[in-house]
Chain A
Amino acid sequence: MDNDRRKFMKVVAGLGLSAALGAPVRARADSHELAGYPNQFGVLVDTTVCIGCRRCEWACKEWNKLPNQKGLKEYEKDQSVYQKLRRTRADTYTVVNRFENPSDPSKPIYVKKQCMHCYEPACASSCFVQAFTKRPIGAVTYNPSVCVGCRYCMAACPFEIPAYQYYNPWTPQVTKCTFCFDRISREGGVPACVAICPAETMTFGKRSDLIDLAHKKITDNPGRYVNHVYGENEVGGTSWMYLSGVPFNRIGFRTDLGTTPIPTLSKAFLSVASPMYIIFPALAVGLYTFAKRRESISKEEIAEALKKKEGKK
Chain B
Amino acid sequence: MEAKSGTLRLSWVEDRLLLGMNWRDYFKSNLTPFNGVMAIILGIGIPVMLYRIFFGLGPSTNLSDYNPWGLWIGFDMLAGIAVASGGFCIATAVHILGMKEYESMVRPALVGGTLGYFFAVVGLMFDLGRYYRLYFPFFVSPGPSSILFLVALSVALYLHCQFFEWCPAIFEWLNWRKLRRWWVKGTLGFTIAGLLLTTGHQSALGSLFLLMPSKLHPLWYSDYLSILFYVSAIYGGITMVIIESMISHRVFADRLHDDDPGRFDRLTLGLGKAAALVIFVYLGLKVLDLAHGYKWSFLATPYGYWYLFEILGFVGVPALVMIYAVQNSKPVMVRGAAIAAAVGVLLNRVDTTIVAFNWHLPWEYRYVPSWMEIVITITIIGIGLLTFRFIVNRMPILNEHPDFEEGHH
Contacts and interface: CB of A to CB of B under 8 A. Distances in A.
Interface string A167-200: 1111111000000000000000000000000000
A128 B98 contact: no
Interface string A156-176: 101010111111111111000
A192 to B, nearest CB: 22
B213 A130 contact: no
A266 B207 contact: yes
A254 B146 contact: no
Contacts of A166: 56-58, 61, 63-64
Interface string B171-204: 0000000000000000010011001100110011
Contacts of B192: 280-281, 284-285, 288
13 contacts: A87-B65, A125-B145, A129-B141, A146-B136, A146-B141, A148-B129, A149-B129, A151-B69, A162-B65, A273-B150, A277-B196, A287-B96, A295-B98
B212 A273 contact: no
A154 B367 CA distance: 14
B130 A152 contact: no
> Which range contains the number of B residues in contact with the other chain?
35 or more
Nearest to A282: B192
Interface of A: 87-90, 122, 125-131, 146-152, 154-156, 158, 160, 162-173, 254, 256-258, 262-263, 265-266, 268-270, 273, 276-277, 280-281, 284-285, 287-288, 291-292, 294-295
A89 B214 CA distance: 20
Given A269-B210, A287-B96, A276 B200 contact: yes
Contacts of A167: 56, 58-59
A173 B204 CA distance: 25
A151 B199 contact: no
Given A150-B129, A155-B215, A165-B129, 5 more contacts: A154-B68, A158-B215, A172-B57, A266-B147, A288-B96
Interface of B: 53-59, 61, 63-66, 68-69, 92, 95-98, 127-131, 133-134, 136-137, 140-143, 145-150, 152, 188, 191-192, 195-196, 199-200, 203-204, 207-208, 210-215, 223, 226, 360
Which of B61, B208, B210 is packed against the most chain A CB atoms within 10 Å?
A: B210
Contacts of A160: 65-66
A257 B215 CA distance: 10
A255 B215 CA distance: 13
A287 B97 contact: yes
Contact of A169 (B56, B152, B200, B210): B56
A291 B191 CA distance: 15
A284 B96 CA distance: 7
A168 B146 contact: no
Contacts of A295: 98
Given A266-B210, A291-B98, A148 B128 contact: yes
Contact of A152 (B136, B148, B150): B148
Contacts of B63: 151, 164, 166
B65 A164 contact: yes
B98 A294 contact: yes
Contacts of A262: 211
B207 A87 contact: no
Contacts of A150: 127-129, 148
Given A281-B196, A291-B98, A169 B55 contact: yes
Given A149-B130, A164-B68, A288-B98, A126 B150 contact: no
A148 B226 contact: no
A280 B196 contact: yes
B212 A155 contact: yes
Contacts of B214: 158, 254, 256-257
Contacts of A273: 150, 200, 203-204
B148 A128 contact: yes
B207 A269 contact: yes
Given A156-B212, A169-B55, A169-B56, A129 B130 contact: no
Given A128-B137, A270-B145, A284 B195 contact: yes
B65 A126 contact: no
B128 A266 contact: no
Nearest to B56: A169
Nearest to B130: A149
Contacts of A162: 65
Contacts of B195: 280, 284
A154 B215 CA distance: 11
Nearest to B137: A128
Nearest to B53: A169
Contacts of B95: 288
Contacts of A146: 133, 136, 140-141
A151 B199 CA distance: 24
* Leading 4 A-B pairs by shortest Cβ distance: A149-B129, A291-B98, A169-B56, A166-B58
A87 B66 contact: yes
A167 B56 CA distance: 6
B128 A130 contact: no
Contact of B133 (A148, A168, A276, A277): A148
A125 B146 contact: yes
A291 B211 contact: no
Contacts of B57: 164, 166, 169, 172
B96 A291 contact: yes
Nearest to A285: B192
A261 to B, nearest CB: 10
A166 B146 CA distance: 23
Contacts of B148: 126-128, 150, 152
Nearest to A130: B143
B136 A154 contact: no
A125 B204 CA distance: 14
A288 B188 contact: yes
B104 to A, nearest CB: 18
A266 B147 CA distance: 7
A165 B65 CA distance: 9
A282 to B, nearest CB: 10
Contacts of B92: 284
